Structure 1
Amino acid sequence: MANIHDIARLSGYSTATVSRVLNRHPYVSASARAKIQAVIDQLDYVPSTMAQNLSAGKTRTIGVILPHTDHPYFQQLVTGILNAAMAGNYHAVILPSRYDQKLEEAYLEALRRHAFDGLIFTSHGLSLTTIAAYQKYGPIVVCEDPGRVKLAAAYAERTPAYRKAFEWMQAQGYTKIALLLSRSYAQSATSKLTINSYVDVFGQRPPHSLVVYQMRTFQDGYQAGAKLAPQHPDFILGNGDDIAAGVRQYFVDHHLPVPPLMGQENQLSSHLLNMSTIDHHVTAIGAAALKLALRAEVAQTVIQSDLILRD
């Protein structure tokens, strides 16, 4: 494969002059430019974008650590990240993690080796303090409130909307409220916020039998319907509109009265079913996370969640 030294040798000009031609530098004579361009055409030479980026000290690539893709939250988050990356002429590379701490450590080590210009943790298995220790190698953004850990973050302020939702349920007289969550209280910041908000309003934790974890898809919601139906909940809060729609479908298919439902993420399914939802504006959070990664600044973008009540 031809390189810049071959072009210099065949054209009779220095590599510096060849480089100026390749980079369209104006200070090259017309005759020199013509001779060098003729050799470039003869060799069918194409500059290496990777080499150009490395010489500039940039890969123009942001790594996006993603635990899984089958939850609407992560789907919308990635959409926001990709849209912002394209607008900024950057590449976003999806790095699957499955919450595997060793995999996440490997991605952090790749940042240390400058394989990426920055990392976005959409969620994580590692502790925030472990993640923060790698910031000296490049910008890192998390998509949650980092609390006292000094990390760049883009996230939704969920607590006010959760409290409003539970206060509304309380005002309607609902007392057997089922919660569908992605991970356990100890593992998930969102599960912790949801249950803490429930406790703030009702003064006690929800019954263990009415809390179902590992909820990510419509099918997961459908299976949760089978678990919840014998307990006759009078209200169900799903951690996604499609998940709540799955619960509803179980009740419909088995000719059972459908309890009132509320989803999250303001997806198409909640519009079609005229179902209440909580909108965390996840696509906007993804775009904000990418922008923070490019700014390489330890700052935070906080977006307020909205409770949307429908009949």
Structure 2
Amino acid sequence: MATILDIARLSGVSKSTVSRVINNHPHVSEDSRTKVMEAIEKLSFVRNARGVHLRTQSTKTIGVTIPDLDHPYFSPLVGMIASKCRNVGYKIVVFQTFYSIEEEYEIYEKLTENELDALIITHTLLSEQEIKQRVRNNVVLICNEPLQTRHLDVFSLDERDAVYSSTQYLLKEGRNHLLMCMDEEITPLQQQRWEGFKQAHLDLNKICTIQQKVSGYATIEEGLLLGDEIFSGQCNYDGILAGSDFLAAGLLSSAKKHGVSVPKELSIIGFDNHSICLTTFPALSSIKNQTELMVKDLVSCLLDRLDGKEFATVRKVYKGALVIRGT
């Protein structure tokens, strides 16, 4: 018995296009529709109700990729996405990539096999071209990762500007020996943060070296460990930009343990402005992102794509804001 895949191969179009023709979807070109109908006739394709449900009907399920569910940023981000999707009748399935390209490939395969209606990528190690080769014409949106694209919708924070502005603030306050603490340095997002950090120094005629960067830290526990390394000897830093509020909280606790006065001797700025900032003493300064607005815009665009609406690729970049508190 011929399948949708057989029809797609013979007609030279995607499986999703075949599905749209079979279900009389309006957004199909006449040329593609003709090719599909000719292939159906040649293959004597019989539309099976159960098969159509499995292959072409909506699963009402959206996939979301994240690198690590325990990550202090991605966990609440997924919660927001799940809530918004649930309100419009969709459930989500969360896939952890563990910073693995092979894991990403497996997730994209689930999308092309119609196990999902769409995929939201919050982190990737691939280029747009590599992603498009894997997902073909399926609905895919980028959330959080500042991927440079021409064909995929992207919703992300201006990471470079957020770090640039905060770094300049510290330098203008007289903090001349800054440390930038990063998450996984291999991602475009973290690279943009480092670029912002370096540019802020350059624009104020300050020296910035590779020694002012550490990577692989994100949690409270990692902040405590890093702080013990930094503060147990002679601390040469008078300002730290932490990649997360949880890392900043760990650094603050370690500084207190080692007798480093915050903010008199050392300033600390976190990232994401989580509520943990209000529980420390002194309260943590942080960079506030626009996650709620970003997710709202993302889901709105997602629904339009699922409805088959055609419009130019969307790219929305949100500005962060430095929230000054006690550190």
**If the TM-score is normalised by the length of the shorter chain, which range does it land in?**
0.7 to 0.9
Any conservation in 1 of the 2:109–2:135 contact (CA below 8 Å)? no
Question: Residues 165-195 of structure 1: CA distance to partner in whole angstroms, max 9, x if unpaired?
Answer: 11111111111111111112xx222222221
Q: Report the residue type matching 2:271 in the other structure.
A: Q
Q: Report the residue type matching 1:267 in the other structure.
A: H
- Bigger drift between 249-258 and 289-298 goes to 289-298
Task: Flag structure 1 segments of 5+ consecutive residues without an equivalent.
Answer: 1-49
Which of 259, 263, 271 is the aligned partner of 2:278?
271
Which of 247, 253, 259 is the aligned partner of 1:249?
253
- Bigger drift between 169-178 and 123-132 goes to 123-132
Alignment of 1:190-269 (within 5 A): 190-203=189-202, 206-229=208-231, 230=233, 231-258=235-262, 259-269=266-276
Task: Flag structure 2 segments of 5+ consecutive residues without an equivalent.
Answer: 1-49
**TM-score (ref. length: structure 2):** 0.73
Q: Which residue of 2 aligns with 1:183?
A: 184
Q: Relative CO higher for 1 or 2, CA cutoff 8 Å, sep ≥ 6?
A: 1
> Kindly tell me: are residues 146 and 256 of structure 1, through their superposed partners in 2, closer, same or farther at Cα, counting changes over 3 Å?
closer
Percentage of matched positions with identical amino acids: 21
- SS of match in other structure, 2:170: helix
Any conservation in 2 of the 1:62–1:93 contact (CA below 8 Å)? yes
CA distance, structure 2, for counterparts of residue 74 and residue 303 of structure 1: 17
Structure exhibiting the larger radius of gyration computed from Cα positions: 1
- SS of match in other structure, 2:325: coil
Any conservation in 2 of the 1:154–1:302 contact (CA below 8 Å)? yes
- SS of match in other structure, 2:136: helix
Question: Residues 77-103 of structure 1: CA distance to partner in whole angstroms, max 9, x if unpaired?
Answer: 112211111111101000111021111
Q: Report the residue type matching 1:197 in the other structure.
A: G
Alignment of 1:1-311 (within 5 A): 54=54, 57-143=57-143, 144-184=145-185, 187-203=186-202, 206-229=208-231, 230=233, 231-258=235-262, 259-273=266-280, 274-296=283-305, 298-311=313-326
> Kindly tell me: are residues 206 and 68 of structure 1, through their superposed partners in 2, closer, same or farther at Cα, counting changes over 3 Å?
farther
Any conservation in 1 of the 2:167–2:200 contact (CA below 8 Å)? yes
- SS of match in other structure, 1:133: helix
CA distance, structure 1, for counterparts of residue 278 and residue 243 of structure 2: 16
Alignment length (residue pairs): 260
- Bigger drift between 265-274 and 205-214 goes to 205-214
- Bigger drift between 281-290 and 192-201 goes to 281-290
CA distance, structure 2, for counterparts of residue 55 and residue 131 of structure 1: 22
> Kindly tell me: are residues 266 and 148 of structure 1, through their superposed partners in 2, closer, same or farther at Cα, counting changes over 3 Å?
same
CA distance, structure 2, for counterparts of residue 147 and residue 111 of structure 1: 22
Report the aligned-residue RMSD: 2.3
Question: Residues 31-79 of structure 1: CA distance to partner in whole angstroms, max 9, x if unpaired?
Answer: xxxxxxxxxxxxxxxxxxx999648611110111111022222122112
- Bigger drift between 104-113 and 139-148 goes to 139-148
